[in-house]
């Protein structure tokens, strides 16, 4: 039996400092039947996780208040069972390819902006449906 938080209507936390990206992601996710909580900063993301316990987190990497990779590290330590998708416009960091770094830090999927919407939707469905 699937956990209730993993079913349709599950809450997904969207973290991005760009309002237009948050709105686009919210539109996609709400169209697919998910509840969406949006925040613009890493600190707000941590507070939202404490308060609402999302089924999935979708986050950017480049944010003004914190390094998105540090946010990913913190999320993995504090909420190891909550899957994270990284959606970013940054392909390469000084340390190497962002997708490799984010995957090593626990991201389940990494999408570059502009992302393929169908693949994003499928990744969300797969991660929210997992037991």
Across the 131 residues of the chain, what is the mean pLDDT of every consecutive 10-residue run?
50 95 97 96 94 93 81 92 89 68 88 92 94 66
Among left, alpha and beta (phi > 0; psi -120 to 50; other), residue 11 is beta
Structure confidence at residue 2 (pLDDT):
34
Which residue ranges form the domains of the chain, and what is each CATH number?
Answer: 4-129 (3.40.50.2300)
> In which order are the strands placed within the sheet that holds 11-15?
35-39, 11-15, 56-59, 84-88, 109-112
Structure confidence at residue 112 (pLDDT):
87
Q: Considering just the CA atoms, what is the radius of gyration of the chain in Å?
A: 13
Structure confidence at residue 7 (pLDDT):
56
Structure confidence at residue 75 (pLDDT):
92
């Amino acid at each position: 039996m699937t956990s209730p938080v993993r079913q349709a209507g599950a809450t997904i936390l969207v973290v991005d400092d760009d309002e237009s990206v948050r709105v686009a992601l919210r539109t996609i996710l709400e169209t697919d039947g998910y509840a969406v909580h949006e925040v613009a900063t890493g600190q707000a993301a941590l507070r939202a996780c404490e308060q609402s316990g999302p089924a999935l987190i979708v986050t950017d990497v480049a944010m003004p208040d914190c390094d998105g990779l540090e946010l990913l590290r913190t999320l993995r330590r504090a909420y190891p069972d909550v899957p994270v998708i990284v959606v970013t416009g940054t392909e390469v960091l000084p340390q190497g390819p962002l997708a490799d770094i984010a995957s090593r830090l626990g991201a389940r999927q990494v999408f570059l902006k502009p992302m393929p919407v169908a693949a994003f939707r499928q990744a969300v469905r797969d991660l929210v449906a997992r037991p």
